[in-house]
Structure formats: structure tokens, C-alpha cells
Structure 1
Amino acid sequence: MAVVHQKTRVLCAMMMLIFICFVMVVSRNLGQHKANIQKVRVPSNRFWRWWKWSDSFWNREQQQLDLIYNPILKVTPTNDVEWLPGWLNDTQALKPCDPDNRVFSQVGDYNTLPQRFQDFLLYMRCRTYPILINQPHVCDNRPFLLLAIKSLVPHFDRRQAIRQSWGQAGNVANRTVVTVFLLGATTSADHFPDLSGMLSHEVELHRDLLQWDYRDSFFNLTIKETLFLEWFSRHCSNAHYVLKGDDDVFINTWQIIHYLTNLPEVLTKDLFVGDVIQNASPHRDHRLKYFIPKSVFVGEYPPYAGGGGYLYSGSLALRLNKVSQQVALFPIDDVYTGMCLRKLGLVPEKHRGFRTFDVDKKYWKNPCVYKNLILVHSRTPQEMIQIWSWLVDPDLDCQ
């Protein structure tokens, strides 16, 4: 009988031990399951913080565009973000080319700004203007180089000097070159005479003018830039390269073609070269041509090439056209182009052949100086023709 009781106690002890082990295993598995279904803990850093809305008008306009085009910024309001201010909703019903009356209240010193600035701010959102003169087939032969020259209607002599010198269209150094001149509209309000008759004759004679129906002014050069990029995308997207310049610069077309022909293919896609300006800030003196008030823009400018002229690839021109829709118009066109490049993650490259601030005056009459340069600013129509005659002279010896 004692043996039976002993066996029973041993059996009970074994069953109890098995039960305890079972409970421990189940508890451990449950703990692991709970650990596996826990929500991922987000680090408590503030990397994706919402920015502070700027007090300057252009910066706020750019912040709004960033909201539209940057999906990272399309967040839901939480306690961690400062959500949209009320003034942002006022733009929803605003037609882009109607006067933007918000500027009266949002730009504190609006009434004291120069008239050109007031006009720019009122129509800063407008990007669409009808084309008056077009050359839709000028690039049918897929040009190697497109010379796109900013000009004004009255500058007949400059355009003709360019046609007779460095802007000669056709076959240059066995490469196809096409030249177009970019014009806006001139009005009596800006004290321009009516030159429409002469312009019509010029169009018929040369077929190289592009004109849009907007007021051709210094602050509207940015409009000229965006309208050209749109035109390029529609009518000249097969051009390999673009030289964009003013009508008072001298350009060594031979040197451009030599430079591009010897350029490694890997560098052509993102090519953008010129006389690059870095670490520049807005001028705050209202007496200066490039004056930008703090009420309109704060911050430093991105690296940009001087607007006298710069060279870039046709493929980059197409991307600049697209990205320009994501950058608020700025009243200085070369700075604006630098902003568009930055939006693409690119930086313009400085090239010693671009002299937008001219060369030393003692070298002005030296033909060999121009032979090794790409662009010099500025030259009169007579000087352009003279310099070109030096360069095409077969007896010119610059050894």
C-alpha cells in the first residue's frame, strides 16, 4: 500500500512539473507574439518638421508651389505642424493673369516700391501670353546649335549686325546653326514709337523673329525666358544645344562649336556653362537696377550664370521648361534660371570663355583675344562686325 501511495505522489509531481513547463512555454510564446504585433516606434527626432511660413511675398509663393509639387509636404494637420495660414486659401479663385490684389495687403511697402515692381507683383502669377510672330519650322533640320537672342523691337541694327557676323544661320564649321530673336511688345506707354511696319518687313525678309504679346521690360525678362522654353519644347526640341544671349554681346560661334564637338558625351546631358556668380545676395538699395526689397524676397541667390549669355544642352532645356512651373517667377531672369537649376539639383559650371563683365580694355583691339573666348559683353553693332571680320580672316595668326 505504501508503494502505491509513493507511485501516486511521483505521478502527481511529474504532472505538476509538466503543467508548469506548459504554462511557461505558452507565456513565452504569448509574449513573443505581443512583441511581434507592437506598432513600430517612430524616433522622436524632428527631421520632417514643417517650415515656418515666410513673411516675404515671393518666398510664400514658392512655399505654396512646394506644397503643390512636393508629395512629402502633403501632410495631414497634427499637433506637430503649423498648418496652412488663411491667406493661402485666398488664391484658389484667383485667375493667374488677373491682377493679384492680395499684394496690397501682403506686401507692406507696396505703395513705396518702384512702378516696375508694383506691376511685376500684380501679374507675377501670369505665365501665358499669346504668340504674335512664330517660326514653327525653323528647327526642322535638327540644328546642332540654336542661338536664342533676347532683343527689343527697336534694336534693328543689333539684329542685323548679328546676322552679318556671329549669328549667321546655316552651316558653320560643318554644323547646322539656327538663330532666333526673342521679342515682347513695345507700347507708347513706355515711350516707344510705332515700328510695326518695319518689324513686318523684317519678319518677311529674315523669318527669324519670335514675338509674344506682353510688355517687354527689364522685370519681364523672366517671362521671355519661360515663354522661350515653352516654345523650344514645342518647336525645337530636337536641337542639340542652346546659346541664350543678349543682343549686345559678341559670340564666337566657331569656338562654341569647337568646344561642344570635343565635349565628352557624359557631360552633355546636364551641360550648363557661363560666367557663374556665386554667394550673391539681393541688392537692398532702391536706387539700383537690381533692387529687391525684403518684403518680396529673403535669402541668398543660388549660383547662376550672368544673363548676358550662357550655353546649355537641348535636353536640359526641356527639363528647365517643366521645372519652371514649380518655381515662382522672380524679377531677375538669370537668378530665376539659377533657381530652376537648383530645383533640378544642378549647378551651373563656370567657363573662362564667358566674359559678361568684358575683358581688359587694352585687349579690345586684339583679334587673338576673341579667338579663344566664347562670349564678350558688351559690343556695339559696328564692333561685332569688325571682330567677326578678324576671326574669319584666314591670315590671322595667333600662335
Structure 2
Amino acid sequence: MAGLRRKLKFLVTLMTVNLFIFILVFHGGGGQDKGHNKVLVPSKRFWSKLAPSQAYWNRQQQRLDLQHNPILASSNSNNTSDDDDDDVRPVPDWLNDTGLNPDPCQPDYRVTTHVKDYNSLPPRFKDFLLYMRCRSYPLVVDQPHVCQKTRRGEPPFLLLAVKSLAPHFDRRQAIRQSWGRAGVLANRTVVTVFLLGNTTAVDHHPDLSEMLRYENTHHRDILQWDYRDSFFNLTVKEVLFLDWMTTRCPGAQFVFKGDDDVFVNTLRILAFLKGLSGPRARDLFVGDVITNAGPNRDKKVKYFIPESLFVGNYPPYAGGGGYLYSGDLARRLHGASQHVPLYPIDDVYTGMCLRKLGLGPEKHKGFKTFDIEEKYRRNPCAYKGLMLVHSRTPQEMIQIWAWLNDPNLTCQ
């Protein structure tokens, strides 16, 4: 009976569509000459046949797109529940992803055959591909109350999330003493957290766990997850931070996320945010935007991406040195990230998630991710109107912050 009802529903729908087409043709051709009343039949089918991409990442995106397409998901569900219903074609095997290990954090050895040049790829690609499906890692150092125990007892106006590595003690301390100082700044509540993974012996890092424990005891601003802290895993850090924020700091109004080797003019950022309201504040995402870019095919460059992994152009994205966005958008990015496969370059990945939301980053001239002219670098006034400069040493961060906070500084 269920199959019969579906077939009747299909026939009714088909008749309705045909009637609609007839009305369009009848009314559209009423004012034309009789010789032009011939109905034009499309030479190609409206629905193209689903075919897998040869690039591994693109193929994973195809799968996710179809899994989250309610119409196709419903059709596939109906097809599997009633074998005698031939109205809906089954989803191809390559989209069903058969043979998948239910634990996404176990290495997926199928990639060794699904990526044609897997064996010739650099080790960082092999590691990324094997664990590409894993998005959940243990949080070994947490700050569950950092956003609740502010001096004013209110959610932070600005959350500074700084990507760092375990050995970078001096950078973190310089940030704490300068632009990342937590508390009340310009009458706004600011909270700072440092995002770390695990620097393992595999990458020849010394064991610094005791020093990190000591550092965290004094500052209570470190978040650390138990995953390999590598360049390609910066995307994992992005996803884990968004997950942490939606749980631990959902009330933050704005977020700055950047590297630990940039100088950030927090005062300028707060002044910029003060003038925002409405839709602009809600959808805010500003930085040094890169457009019309694509994967780098030069194997000697650390941003190298082989054609077997990705084909196509990148969406507009903000350079990973640092960007500023709203807390509302952060929560939506968290949801969108579940529909985009991990990509080895984190700032490109964030651009992909923005595109999934139908948004794009806004370019702001105050973000200088490729530095300023050398002749201006020792001029305090050169930094007054900027939001970010890359890169700066710990000593330079402290020096520039002292310049900007000097009450005698006058700039024209």
C-alpha cells in the first residue's frame, strides 16, 4: 500500500507540473505570430547525472552536500524502505561511502587507494588524509569559567583567541603584557585564551608539559587539546575552538582570532566595534581578504595542494594572521563547519564555511598581514590607525603597546 500511495502521489505531482507548463506556454505564446508558437524542448536533461570528482576533498564535499540535502536524503530513505518502489533511483555506491569505519577518529586507510598518488605525497598529507574525518579530541586543559568570571560578571565584549604552540612561552607572555591583557579596556570586558595542541615527540619537540602546567596555574588562559599540533592541523584547532566557544563562551559579542606573532591594536578594534550595530554587527567578518586565489601546485611551498586532493578556486578568505568577527557569526560558523570537510589550510577552510552561510569576508585596510613599509616600522603613529600587523617579535609587541598607551603621543 505504501508503494502504491507514493506512485499515486508521483502521478499527481507529474500532472500538476505538466498543467503548469501548459499554462506558461499558452500565455507566453499568446502575443506571438503563429509561426513562433512551437514549444522548445530542452536538448539536455535538467538534472545532470551524479559523477564523483577525481579530487578527494571535492568528493567528500559532494557526499556531505547530499547527506544534508533533505529532498535527496528523503528519496534515498524511501527507496531503501520499499524495494518495489522504482520511482526513485538508488544513490550511487560512491555516495553511500560503504565500508566506512564508524569511529571517525580511527585512521581511514581507504584513502591509500582512493587518492591516486597517496604513496608519493609528503608525510604531512598522509597524516592529514588518514585523520581527516576526526573532529573531536580530548580537551586536556580547559578554562570552563573564563568567560563567566570576568571582572564585571558579564559575558566578554571581545574574546581574543590566539593560536600558539607549546614552546612559545615568550610570545604568550608578551601578548599578556601588551595587546592581549585581559580585563576591562576602554570600558569593555576583554578575555584572552591561547589555543594549543600537543607537540609530540614525533615532531622532535621536547617535553614541556610541566612548564605549561606551571604557566596555566598562574594565568588560567590556556586551552589545550590532545591532537598533533601541526600546520595542517590548524583547521582542527579552528573547529575545536568554535566547539569550545559555543559551549564555554556563547555570550561573547565579538571574537578576534589570530596567530601569536602578530601585533594587535586592541584599542583600535574596540573603537571600531563601538560604532557597529544591526546587521553589520551580526554578520561582521573583517580582515585582510584574499580573492581570486586557488591551490598552489608548487611542491616546494608549504601551501602546496595536489590536484588529487582539491580542484577549483578558493572562495574569498581572510589571511590567517588574524581576523575579527561577531559572536553570532561564530556560532553559525560552528554549524556550517559540520557541512564542510576539513581542509589542510585553515584560513581557506574558514572562507569555505563562510561561503556555506552565503557570506564573505570584508576587507579592512587596518589589517596588515604582509607588514607595513620598513621606513614606518619605528614610527608609533604608524600603528595608531591599524588593527593588526604581522609579524612582530615579543619585544616589539611590548614596545608598540607602550607607544600607543603613552599619553604624550600625538599624531596628525
Is the pair's TM-score, using the shorter chain for normalization, greater than 0.5? yes
Task: Choose from 273, 277, 280 the match for 1:267.
Answer: 280
> Aligned partners of 1:191 and 1:162: how far apart in 2?
26
What displacement does 1:118 show? 0.3
Question: Which structure 2 residue ranges, 5 or more long, are not aligned?
Answer: 1-13, 22-40, 80-85, 149-153
Distance change (3 Å), C-alpha of 1:200 and 1:38? closer
SS at match of 2:211: helix
How far off is 1:263 after superposition?
A: 1.6
Q: In structure 1, how many angstroms separate the alpha carbons of the residues matched to 2:90 and 2:298?
A: 34
AA matched with 2:311:
V
Q: How does 1:349-360 map to 2 (within 5 A)?
A: 349-360=362-373
Count of aligned positions: 363
> 1:54-93 counterparts in 2 under 5 A?
54-74=53-73, 75=75, 83-86=91-94, 88-93=96-101
The match for 1:138 among 135, 139, 146 is 146
Aligned residues of 1:66 and 1:73 also touching (Cα < 8 A) = no
* Equivalent position of 2:403 in the other structure: 390
**How much does 1:362 deviate?**
1.1
Distance 1:110 1:92 in 2: 19
Quick one: distance in 1 between partners of 2:187 and 2:15? Answer: 70
Q: Which of 315, 319, 328 is the aligned partner of 2:341?
A: 328
Aligned-residue Cα RMSD (Å) equals: 1.9
Partner of 2:132: 124
Which stretch shows the higher mean deviation, 74-83 or 277-286? 74-83
Q: Which residue in 2 is equivalent to 1:302?
A: 315
1:103 aligned partner, one-letter code: V
In structure 2, the residue matched to 1:102 is 110
Q: Give the CA deviation at 1:101.
A: 1.1
Task: Say yes or no: does 1:40 pair with 2:17.
Answer: yes
Match of 1:151 among 151, 155, 164: 164
Q: Which amino acid aligns with 2:199?
A: T
Q: CA deviation at 1:48?
A: 4.0
Tell me the residue number matched to 1:338. Answer: 351
User: In structure 2, what is the Cα distance between the partners aligned to 1:360 and 1:73?
Assistant: 54
User: Equivalent residue for 1:53?
Assistant: 52
Structure 2: how far apart are the matches of 1:92 and 1:135? Answer: 35
Give CA deviations for 1:60-111 in whole Å, capped at 9, x if unaligned.
1111111111224434588998941347432444420111111111101001
- Contact kept in structure 1, 2:159 and 2:256, CA below 8 Å: yes
2:231 corresponds, among 218, 236, 240, to 218
Superposition pairs of residues 194-233 of structure 1, within 5 angstroms = 194-233=207-246
Structure 2 counterpart of 1:239: 252
AA in 2 matched with 1:161? A
Q: Aligned with 2:17: secondary structure?
A: coil
Residue 26 (structure 2) aligns with: none
Give 1:172's match in structure 2, choosing from 177, 182, 185: 185
Secondary structure of 1:326's partner?
coil
How far, CA to CA, are the matches of 2:15 and 2:317 in structure 1? 51
How far apart, in 2, do the equivalents of 1:211 and 1:130 lie?
9
Counterpart Cα distance in 2 of 1:350 and 1:147: 20
TM-score, normalised relative to structure 2:
0.85
Residues 265-312 of structure 1 deviation map (CA, whole Å, 9 limit, x = unaligned): 331111000000001010011111000000000000000000000000
Question: Taking every aligned residue pair, what percent have the same amino acid on both sides?
Answer: 63
SS at match of 1:90: coil
Distance 2:302 2:344 in 1: 11
**Residue among 96, 113, 122 paired with 1:114:** 122
> Displacement, 1:50?
4.3
Map Cα deviations across residues 186-233 of structure 1 (whole Å, 9 max, x no partner): 111111111111111001000000000000000000000000000000
Match of 1:367 in 2: 380
**Which whole-Å CA distance do the structure 2 matches of 1:368 and 1:38 have between them?**
72
Asked whether the 8 Å contact 2:369–2:389 carries over to 1, the reply is yes
**Under a length normalisation based on structure 1, what TM-score does the superposition of the two structures give?**
0.87
- Provide, for residues 160-200 of structure 1, a one-character-per-residue CA deviation record: whole Å limited to 9, x for no partner: 00000000000100000000000000111111111111111
Which residue is 2:302 aligned to? 289
Matches of 1:263 and 1:243, distance apart in 2: 15
Q: Larger Rg: 1 or 2?
A: 1
Q: Secondary structure at the match of 2:301?
A: coil
Q: Distance in 1 between matches of 2:395 and 2:220?
A: 23
Amino acid aligned to 2:116: G
Decide whether the 8 Å contact of 2:52 with 2:94 is kept in 1: no
Question: Structure 2 vs 1, CA of residues 80 and 54 (structure 1 numbering), >3 Å: closer, same or farther?
Answer: farther
Name the amino acid aligned to 1:64: R
The Cα shift of 1:51 comes to 3.9
Whole-angstrom CA distance in 2 between matches of 1:247 and 1:319: 25
Please list the CA deviations of residues 215-261 of structure 1 after superposition, one character each: whole Å capped at 9, or x if unmatched: 00000000000000000000000000000000000000000000000
Structure 1 unmatched runs, 5+ = 1-36
Q: CA deviation at 1:340?
A: 0.3
Q: Is the 8 A contact 1:252 1:371 kept in 2?
A: yes
